[in-house]
């Protein structure tokens, strides 16, 4: 089995834990793919978030200014683009940071999918329990904590999904249990416990925490399990980002069309967050957007699943890798099969990065643009730089007829977490060199 995989050049690099760039030969024109997939589901998710906006405002006062819509800024980071040149060549075109790292409530990209799924479940219970009344005022749901306290929400997590589900569920009133893998940082467990969330810790990796959590939840009829590997709701919650990003680009006068390509770099763990966002972006921009995922060299589960065609049947340990990385948000050894199948015709490619580059990028971004993000997020900046680093990336640009368009290109590094990192740990990260 191993020998067959080794014949695929990108997989041979993965097995040697070498940084690599994998180009997706199965990428298809979006018009073809679109015929098989709808966009209605994304609109449904966006509408549900809108209905819940009055509730969100009341439950999370920090969202009042944005009228209960949880969205992150899009910021040009021209100084970082210059600063990154000290680490190697950089691609032509403007560089922006999509700051999901700073999303309110959950402090990470998980605020999109996680909050959405908890709200969708809450709507189902509210309708079944007759809590929404004639006027359908969602703000009134904050008066029914006693009802929600009779229900449990559970989730398995490397950290950030647990924070998002835990904080949101606790705000609705649910009993919450978060099953944490051994990669989860102590401060994330402490923060959850301070919100009254029950945190169970497992010696094994993420897959184990999920399996245990799922089994415990399934045994309890009043318990709901948020399933990162299979959840369509999570995926759709993430995909709402596409339309919102289009509005932000328009606001900033950034054009995306055949002459002005858009490149987006998304850090990938199990695949739900980057997959859902990429799905939403392809619906908006079709072939004009080029989506790239990025993973740690010791934990490249998505490339492994896509490049070998094995999907969720392969894990990084099958390739002789440890799965251990400083990028805790990306420490997932087995990809979501659902996401590998969705991404097969839509993803442009994927690269892997050594942990040391995450901290190098973290410092440059902090020094040049005064933004702090967590190590997992920094993979997005490394992936942007990879477009100028790898021959395979340059080949992608040539093969898609993009070479002469690169001066008018827009690149977005999708920062996925950071806001909630405590001050002492920020200081540690800012001086860390590997």
Beta pairing partners, 97: 75, 413
178 binds ligand PLP (CB under 6 A): no
378 binds ligand PLP (CB under 6 A): no
Q: Which of 271, 300, 311, 349 binds ligand PLP (CB under 6 A)?
A: 271
For the bound state, the minimum distance from the C-beta of residue 64 to ligand PLP, rounded and expressed in Å, comes to 26
Q: Quick check: 415 and 361 in contact, CB under 8 A?
A: no
Q: Which of 110, 112, 121, 189 binds ligand PLP (CB under 6 A)?
A: 110
- Please choose, out of 43-51, 75-83, 126-134, 328-336, the segment that lies near ligand PLP by the rule CB under 6 A: 328-336
* Dihedral Cα 242, 243, 249, 254, nearest 10 deg: 90
Residues 6+ apart with CB under 8 A from 237: 45, 49, 112, 113, 114, 115, 116, 117, 120, 276
* Strand 74-76 to 94-99 pairing: antiparallel
93 binds ligand PLP (CB under 6 A): no
Euclidean distance between CA atoms 330 and 30, whole angstroms: 28
108 binds ligand PLP (CB under 6 A): yes
How far from 356 is each of 259, 318, 346, CA to CA, in Å?
35, 24, 29
For the bound state, the minimum distance from the C-beta of residue 85 to ligand PLP, rounded and expressed in Å, comes to 25
| Structure tokens that stand for 396 in this block | 């992608």
Tell me the per-residue interface mask from 208 to 247 with ligand PLP, x by CB under 6 A, - otherwise.
Answer: ----------------------------------------
Q: Which of 274, 296, 311, 349 binds ligand PLP (CB under 6 A)?
A: 274
Q: Which of 14, 141, 177, 270 binds ligand PLP (CB under 6 A)?
A: 270
Residue 268 or 297 having the CB closest to ligand PLP: 268
Residue 141 or 339 having the CB closest to ligand PLP: 339
Burial of 167 (0-12, 13-18, 19+ CB in 10 A): buried
Tell me if residue 189 falls in helix, strand or coil.
helix
300 binds ligand PLP (CB under 6 A): no
Residues at the site binding ligand PLP, with contacts judged by CB under 6 A: 108-110, 160-161, 267-274, 329-330, 332, 374, 376-377, 416-417
């Amino acid at each position: 089995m191993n020998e067959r995989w080794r014949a695929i050049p990108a997989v041979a690099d993965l097995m040697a834990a070498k940084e690599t760039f994998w180009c997706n030969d199965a990428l298809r024109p979006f018009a073809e793919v679109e015929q098989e997939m709808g966009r209605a589901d994304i609109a449904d998710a966006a509408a549900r978030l809108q209905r819940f906006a009055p509730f969100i405002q009341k439950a999370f006062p920090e969202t009042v200014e944005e009228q209960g819509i949880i969205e992150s800024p899009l910021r040009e980071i021209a100084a970082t683009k210059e600063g990154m040149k000290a680490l190697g060549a950089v691609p032509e075109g403007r560089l922006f940071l999509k700051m999901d790292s700073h999303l309110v409530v959950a402090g990470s990209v998980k605020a999109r999918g996680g909050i959405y799924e908890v709200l969708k479940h809450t709507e189902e219970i509210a309708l079944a329990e007759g809590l929404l009344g004639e006027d359908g005022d969602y703000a009134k749901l904050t008066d029914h904590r006693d009802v929600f306290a009779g229900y449990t929400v559970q989730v398995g997590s490397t950290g950030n999904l647990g924070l998002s589900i835990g904080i949101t569920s606790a705000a609705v009133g649910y009993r919450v249990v978060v099953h944490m893998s051994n990669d989860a940082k102590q401060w994330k467990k402490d923060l959850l416990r301070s919100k009254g969330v029950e945190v169970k810790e497992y010696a094994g990796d993420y897959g184990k925490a999920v399996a245990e959590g799922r089994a415990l939840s399934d045994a309890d009829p009043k318990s709901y399990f948020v399933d990162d590997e299979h959840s369509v709701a999570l995926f759709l919650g993430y995909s709402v980002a596409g339309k919102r990003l289009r509005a932000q680009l328009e606001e900033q006068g950034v054009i995306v069309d055949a002459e002005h390509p858009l490149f987006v770099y998304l850090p990938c763990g199990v695949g739900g967050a980057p997959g859902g966002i990429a799905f939403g972006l392809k619906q908006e921009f079709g072939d004009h957007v080029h989506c790239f995922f990025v993973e740690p060299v010791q934990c490249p589960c998505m490339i492994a699943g896509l490049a070998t065609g094995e999907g969720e049947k392969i894990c990084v340990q099958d390739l002789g890798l440890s799965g251990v990385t400083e990028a805790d948000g990306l420490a997932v050894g087995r990809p979501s099969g659902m996401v590998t199948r969705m991404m097969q015709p839509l993803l442009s490619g994927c690269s892997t990065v050594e942990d040391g580059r995450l901290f190098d990028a973290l410092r440059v971004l902090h020094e040049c643009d005064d933004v702090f993000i967590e190590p997992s997020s920094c993979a997005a900046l490394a992936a942007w730089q990879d477009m100028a680093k790898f021959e395979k990336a340059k080949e992608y640009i040539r093969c898609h007829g993009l070479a002469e368009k690169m001066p008018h290109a827009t690149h977005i590094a999708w920062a996925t977490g950071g806001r909630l990192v405590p001050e002492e740990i920020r200081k540690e990260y800012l001086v860390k060199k590997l």
